[in-house]
Amino acid sequence: MTPPRYLLAIETSCDETAAAVITHDRHVLSNVVASQTDLHLRYGGVVPEIASRAHVQAILPVVKEALAKANVTLKDLEAVAVATRPGLVGSLLIGLTAAKSLAWGLGIPLVAIDHLQAHIYACQLATQQPLYPCVGFVVSGGHTNLYHCPTPITFNPLGGTIDDAAGEAFDKVAQILNLGYPGGPVIEAAAIHGDSHAVQFPQAFLHEDRLDFSFSGLKTAVLYAAHGTPGARAVPPPLNTQRIADLAASFQRAVIEVLVAKSVAAMHQTGETRLAVGGGVAANKAFRTSLSSAATRHGFEVFFAPLDLCTDNAAMGGLGWEYIDARQFSPLDLDVTPGLVRVSTDHR
């Protein structure tokens, strides 16, 4: 029996400081996230300490805990993987610097991974079945992007949001409807008791071939429906519990219908048979149900990231093994790439 091989993965692209240990057979031994969600709640949706300082304070304890939970030591590690794009430059740098130091100190390879490819790869961690080639869909607070993914480490953008991300729309509509934070779960809960056809909200690009999204007009339409159109005499219905439920349900339907329609269109345009969906919005049950039934109707398979790997985490950095298997390592003078990569990343 060959001895197990261990990869340490680090993720600091936005709010979360995370580390995980994944074996070469893609078994997640530990998955530690220093989440600020409890702080989010306390401050009503804002990030109290978003900056690199929080990552600096958290990174070493998080790495230590990931190693301890996996019951491995630093010298057991074969390589270190780290998300270097896209994200907030100061935050990415903390993770990269930690990863570089470990790789240099331990004399092991450094592997730079794409945060969005990792979100898609989270789906592969939940199935024994080969996922690639596939269409990858990242739907979160910061992203709503469709990719054609020939392999785990290559992808080509098919389309994305031109303004607000889907998850951001959920958060802002939750604020408009006074439902609290985070927006996804509270809208979903309120929508259960609402009529999803009470209001017909705009669904940008729904009937166009382009695989892009726009949720900013939808957000504004919900604002007007809830609190009245500026300059208009008409007074909107009172914003009582039922009205809030109706608006939440109608909003959620509008978003999901667009997400599902564009997923189906992407499958048709690429001719792929498997769709992989990651990111925080992939945790929305109504979205999962609706997309699963569309997949059945249109004859493709859909894979969702496991619930605990939908939001930002380092376990999805198991993607690093794909780079290692392809012998694609990164130099120690590597820099971060904060911007969204809009061209193919199959070379570097």
Partner 1 sequence: MIQQAEMVFMTQTERETVELGRKLGEVCVPGLVLALAGNLGAGKTRLTQGLAAGLGIDGDEVTSPTFGLVHEYSGRLMVYHFDTYRLPNDQSFLDLGAEEMFAAGGVCVIEWASKVAACLPANRIEIEIEAAGETTRRISLRAFGHREVEVLRAAYPGQPEVE
Task: Name the site residues for partner 1 (rule: CB under 8 A).
Answer: 14, 43, 45-53, 86-90, 140-142, 160-165, 167-168, 171-172, 175-176, 212, 216, 219-220, 223-224, 229-232, 338-339, 342
d(CA 281, CA 312): 12
Of 172 and 262, nearer to partner 1 (C-beta) is: 172
Find the shortest distance in angstroms from Cβ 43 to partner 1. 6
Whole-Å CA distances, 43 to 169, 171, 295: 19, 14, 39
| 208 close to 261: Cβ distance less than 8 angstroms | no
Of 103 and 221, nearer to partner 1 (C-beta) is: 221
Q: State the Cα angle at 302 between 287 and 166, rounded to 5°.
A: 35
Of 177 and 295, nearer to partner 1 (C-beta) is: 177
Of 71 and 229, nearer to partner 1 (C-beta) is: 229
Of 175 and 328, nearer to partner 1 (C-beta) is: 175
Bridging pattern class, strands 6-11 and 17-23: antiparallel
Of 47 and 68, nearer to partner 1 (C-beta) is: 47
Find the shortest distance in angstroms from Cβ 86 to partner 1. 8
Of 294 and 316, nearer to partner 1 (C-beta) is: 316
Find the shortest distance in angstroms from Cβ 53 to partner 1. 6
Neighbours of 62 (CB within 10 A): 24
Find the shortest distance in angstroms from Cβ 279 to partner 1. 11
d(CA 170, CA 89): 25
| 21 close to 29: Cβ distance less than 8 angstroms | yes
> Which residue's entry shows tokens 């989270």?
122
CA 142, distance to chain mean position in Å, is 8
Find the shortest distance in angstroms from Cβ 44 to partner 1. 9
Find the shortest distance in angstroms from Cβ 75 to partner 1. 35
| 52 close to 14: Cβ distance less than 8 angstroms | no
The pair phi, psi for residue 3, each rounded to 5°, is: -65, 150
Find the shortest distance in angstroms from Cβ 92 to partner 1. 11
d(CA 90, CA 70): 28
> Which residue's entry shows tokens 């509008």?
254
Find the shortest distance in angstroms from Cβ 167 to partner 1. 7
Of 334 and 340, nearer to partner 1 (C-beta) is: 340
Of 325 and 335, nearer to partner 1 (C-beta) is: 335
Three-class secondary structure of residue 7 per DSSP? strand
d(CA 254, CA 250): 6
| 134 close to 272: Cβ distance less than 8 angstroms | yes
DSSP secondary structure of 191-218: HTTS-TTSS----TTTTSSS--B--HHH
Find the shortest distance in angstroms from Cβ 256 to partner 1. 20
